Every structure is written in C-alpha cells, then in structure tokens.
Amino acid sequence: MDLFHFNLQLPITDPTWIFLLVLLIILFAPILLNKLRIPHIIGMILAGLVIGEHGFNILARDSSFELFGKVGVYYIMFLAGLEMNMSDFKKNRGKAIMLGLLAFIIPIGIGMVTNMILLKYSLLTSILLASMYASHTLVAYPIVIRYGISRHRSVSIAVGGTAVTDTLTLLVLAVISGLFKGEGGGLFWLWLVVKVVVLGVLIMQLFPRIGRWFFRRYDDNVMQFIFVLAMVFLGAGLMEFIGMEGILGAFLVGLVLNRLIPHVSPLMSHLEFVGNALFIPYFLIGVGMLIDIHVIFGGGDALKVAGVMIVVALVGKWIASWLTQKIYRMSALERELMFGLSNAQAAATLAAVLVGYGLIQPNGERLLNEDVLNGTVLLILVTCVVSSFITERAARRVAMDEAHLEESNPSRMPEKILIPVANPATIEYLMSLSLLIRDPKQKDNLVALSVINDHTETDRLELQGKRHLERAAKITASAGINLQCISRYDMNIAAGIIHTAREYDVTDLIIGLHYKVNLMDSYFGKLTESLLKGLHREVMVARFLMPLNTLRRIIIAVPPKAEYEAGFAKWVEHFCRMGATLNCRVHFFANEQTTHLLQALVRKKHSGTMTEYSRLDDWDDLLLLTGQVNYDHLLVVISARRGSISYDSSFERLPGQLGKYFTNNSLIVLYPDQIGEPQDAISFANPQGNNESQHYEKVGRWFYKWFKKDN
C-alpha cells in the first residue's frame, strides 16, 4: 500500500475540499487585500476568477455555488431592506424615487441609441440590453454597514432608488420574456402589473402580522433566525412564481420586517454575521467564476460590446446621481456615495443576460449572443470594482465627518446604564431596553449588577447571580456590544445598587417593576422607593408583556413643568432613539406649554423620529389615556420625585391608577434626573420628608379652580 500516493484531479469535486477552499478564500482574501488597500468585495470576485474553470480550473461552478449564490444575492437585497431607516426613507422617498427613475431612464435611453448605432443590434435586443445598464445591485452595501453609515440620508436614497430601478428593469425583462413565450397579448402588461401589485400588498399586509405573532410566542434565537430566512425565501419564491425575479421579493420582505428586527437586536447581529461570513462571499466568488478572460480578449466583438456596456452604464449612473444632487441641492460627497452604491451590476444584470441568452429569435439566433454574455461578465467585474472603490472612499469620508461632528459637540457626561439582574423572567426585557436606549457612539456604557446579601445563603445566591450575569452578557454579546458584569456583597439589594451607581458614575438605572406579594405590599415595592430616595439619576421602572420589537407605538404621558427638570432632554432622547430603532411612532401627551418645548426639542435633535402630540391638561386622572393605549403599545409615564419642580400631589394616586387601568399594558414609569443630591423622605433635617407643600398645594389648586369657574 502506497501511503504517499495522491490522485489529484482538477477541478476538485470532493465536497469537503470544495468547502475548505472557499472558507480559506473568505478567510485570507480580506487579510491580503487589506495590505493592498483593495475592498474585500473585489477580492472575492478576483478569487472566483482565479479558481474558476476559466482560471486555473481548481473548482467547478457546481450546484453549491448556484445555491449559495442565490442565497447570497437574496441576502444582499434582504439586508438592504432590513438596514434601511424607514423614517428617513419616508422623509426622502421623493429623492429615492427621483434617483430610481433617473437611474432607469437615462441609462436605458443612452443604451438604446448606442446599441442600435454602434453595435447594430435589433430594437428588441437593444431594449433588453439597455435595461441591463439601468439595473444595479447593492454589492457595495456591506461597506456602508462596516463603516456604520447605513442610516445616512444618501444611503437611504440609493437603497430606495435600487428598489425603483430594479423593479422597472425586471418588468422590462418579464415583458420581453413573455413576448417570446407567446404571452404578449393585449392584457399581458396589465396582468403582470396586477400580479406584482397584489403580491406586494399581500407581503406588506400579511408578513408583518405573521412575524409579530411568531416573535411574541417564540424567543429562541435559532428559531427566530430560521423563521426570518423562511420568510425571505417565501417572498422570493412567490415573486418568481408570478414571473418576476426573487431579489425583488427578498428586498420587499426586508422592508416589511424592518420594524420587527431592531438594528441593535441579537437577531439582527446573527443575520448580518451569517450573511457577511458565508452567503454573500459565496455569491461574490460565484460571480468571479463566470468571468472568461480568454474569450473577452481572444478577438471578436466581445471587447467592443463590453466597452460600450461599461461606458454607458457608468456614465448613465453618474448623470442620474449628479442630477439628483443638483435637483435637491445635496453635497458632492452624497452624490459620490449614491453613485458608488448604484453603479454595480450583478444580480438583475445576470438575470437579464441569462434570460436573453436562452431566448431564440425566429431566425435561429439568440436574443443576446455570446459576445453580450461575456461582455456582461466583464461589465459586472468593472462596475463592481468601481462601485467598491468609490463607496469605500466616500463611506470613509462620511464616517470621518460624522466623527468630527461628534467631537465638535459640547462635551457631555459619559453614559453609564446600570441594569440590576435578579429576576430571570425580566433579564431579557431589561437588557433589550438598555440596548435600545443606549448611545451607540459610546463604548462600554452598559453595566449589569448582581447584589448578594452577605448574611443569607451566600453560596446559592452567588451561583444564581453568576448565571444571571452570564445570561445578560450573552444577550449583549449576540448584539455585538460589550457588557460590564459586577457581582457584589452588601447589606441589602437597594444599598448594593446605590453604592455601585455612585462608584461607577452611573447616569441611568433600569429596574423591573415590583410584583405585589400581598395586599399590604405597595405597587412599586420598597426597593424602588429606596432607590428613588438614594439616587438622583434617571430611573426607569419597566414591565413588558411582549417582546419590545413587536411594540407598535410608544405613548408618553408628560406632566406639567416636566421641561424644567434637569433630565428632560435626556429622557426625550432615550425614547426618540427607541422609537427610531423600533421604527414606531412616539406619541406625547402633555399640556400646551410642554408640548411646544417637546416639539422644538424633537425638531432640533430627533427629526428622524416619527412623533405625534396630543393635549393632556388634566393630569389628575390617567383614565383619559385608556382609550389611546392598545395591547401592543408601550405606556410611558413621566413621574417625579418629591420636592422636584414637576412634582404634583396627584402622583400619589399614580400607583392605584396604573394598577387599575393599565394592568394589561407594557409600562415604564420614569423618574428623570434631579438637580442636587438625593435626600431621604424623612430625616431629622427634613422631618416632613419634602411633603410640607402638598396640603397647601391642594388648597391653592381648589381656590384656583373655584375662581376660574366663577369667572
């Protein structure tokens, strides 16, 4: 037996070695190309060219590349819809539609003329080939994700324009394909449009309801991930079933699931990780394996066809971006980013050329010949290279500008959010809330705490506390965020939380709502009361009855004079950030004066958040809000500590009203930052516990109402 006999045949067909080579390319291509300052996307395409049948023939483009390639292109379109800031898109939808129409009309117009005059193609061939110039794929989109600017205005415009352009391109492809299949009757156009519209409405109305139902009942990360993938392929499959390309369905599913998968959630992190680590690189390598350098440079018209296609596609997209910039008076950097994202040809272009290559004309010739097929592959390579370089440069400059803008702002206190973990039933909700309200530009701003009484069953409590901290750390780690875990001994839970908050300069505290044990127990519990007395920082007391990503609206009840509290701007920022991330509307209820200040603050700093404002003059009775708060809404009540500016004696009835009217609602009671040091409710220096004003306030209010009524 010859132990050193190897029978190596190319291309490699063993699945183990195929997958190993692909993984090695995905691993080492970015490492090598980082040193050469070449975008990773180009490296994957060039690697596919080298190992493909037209290169060194190391691997054949087998069914695995077709499968993973299709998953990859669906993933690109799905993530583009999922990452889109819907509030920004709604605000910029006019610009996105304009860019999409220009990016379709200009390339297809120039392309039809050049195809007929320079390439001498027929009208039908010229139209289909020109539609390929108009389409584009967001191949460079992972670059903007990596730089953290996926929610920039120009990115939202480019992504929205992609949906418009690719839809029109795929409609042209479907019509031409139908003509050759004998389906081009008078009703064909109308029937195709009706099918697309009906399916689009079905996806937009049905998929969010199915997703919300599933996420409320199943919180396992693996099940949620598989469910989302199933929805993506269901949308893509339905779109292919009616005669369109699946990428349109995948993009639409990303849009409708956008609000159910927050940007900072563990599920979003899992989706991005799997896509960027496996599916998208597989797709890019498969694109590179299609390139045949020998045919392109071996003579014939392939090089001429490729040259015309490349020039028309790049010039047409640049003119569309330039006109959009001029029409809406945008910056040159935004134009560069829109152009970079909108000129890569891949998915829709491949679909069009493969369909056209398979259509046979009456004279026996293919509608799109081999010159177009090979020229298309070179078009894909060149446009992907140009797109990646331009997007990389523009995205880096945008990220640097945003970083300088952040540094130029007045210095603010570093954020530090403390989350005590004691009840395993509330850990996931509290950690999810902290992920939604935290400042993403600050690092290491989350702290989880486990407090152990030093006089009761310390060993068991210590082990239990470690498990709670590990669970909290897993939740934040799955979202790509570091969590500082602290375990400490103290005389009681409240003292441990207060001491930790002071030692670590905590700015915000999130705790779960106390569950009443007996009739004599208070609504908030002794722990909350002790924390409010001992801390003057913002305290959120939360109770959630459903996953946060399934909430559809945030209702905030704001008392009079809340704008005079030190923490007014901070809690507004927290809930506006939460509303923007969840893509749900934030509805403020306040009196006229407070509403004006809320509107000014939101307009100045949080204009991207969808907001509504309603009058709430009679704060004494929250029963007025029962008709406004549904089961899938979050009710936020802004309260105040005794002795603060906005404190009112009606707050004493707040626990009873919440317990009576809102037992079936998710709830947050917030106590904002307070100027000065905390004081105990009753002490020798303050024997009345800051309650001395309550009685004469009631009398004064009674006289005021009587006098107003008399007048």
The torsion region of residue 621 among left (phi > 0), alpha (psi -120 to 50) and beta comes to: beta
Query: What's the token pair of residue 527?
Result: 């722990």
Given a cut of 50, the residues of the chain with pLDDT beneath it are 1, 410-411, 517-520, 678-697, 699-700, 702-704, 706-707, 711
Query: CB–CB of 156/92 below 8 Å?
Result: yes
Output the six-digit token pair for 413. 């206190």
Measured between alpha carbons, how far is 582 from 595 in angstroms, rounded to an integer? 23
d(CA 650, CA 656): 11
Tens-place pLDDT, residues 321-362 = 999 999 988 888 889 999 998 888 876 677 677 777 777 777
Distance CA 1, CA 577 (A): 69
CA distance 16 to 8: 14
Residue 699: per-residue pLDDT = 45
- Alpha helices, DSSP H, located in 642-691: 654-661
Q: What is the pLDDT of residue 571?
A: 94
How many whole angstroms separate alpha carbon 570 and alpha carbon 689?
A: 27
Q: How many CA atoms lie within 13 A of 515 on its CB side?
A: 6
The residue length of the chain stands at: 711
Is the CB of residue 103 less than 8 Å from the CB of residue 316? yes
The residue written with tokens 């001994």 in the block is 489
Residue 691's CB is within 10 A of a number of other CB atoms, namely: 15
Q: What integer pLDDT is reported at residue 295 of this predicted model?
A: 65
Helix (H), strand (E), coil (C) string for 80-96: HHHHCCHHHHHHCHHHH
Beta bridge partners of 671: 539
Non-local (6+) Cβ contacts of 61 within 8 A are 52, 53, 286, 289, 290
What's the predicted TM-score (pTM) here?
A: 0.71
CA–CA dist 634, 272 (Å, integer): 28
The contacts of residue 409 (CB under 8 Å, 6+ apart) are none
Q: For the segment 277-298, what is each residue's pLDDT rounded down to a tens digit?
A: 888 888 888 877 877 777 666 6
- The three state secondary structure string of 365-415 is CECCCHHHHHHHHHHHHHHHHHHHHHHHHHHHHHHHHHHHHHHHCCCCCCC
Neighbours of 146 (CB within 10 A): 15
Amino acid, res. 164: V
- E strands within 495-603? 508-512, 538-543, 553-557, 585-590
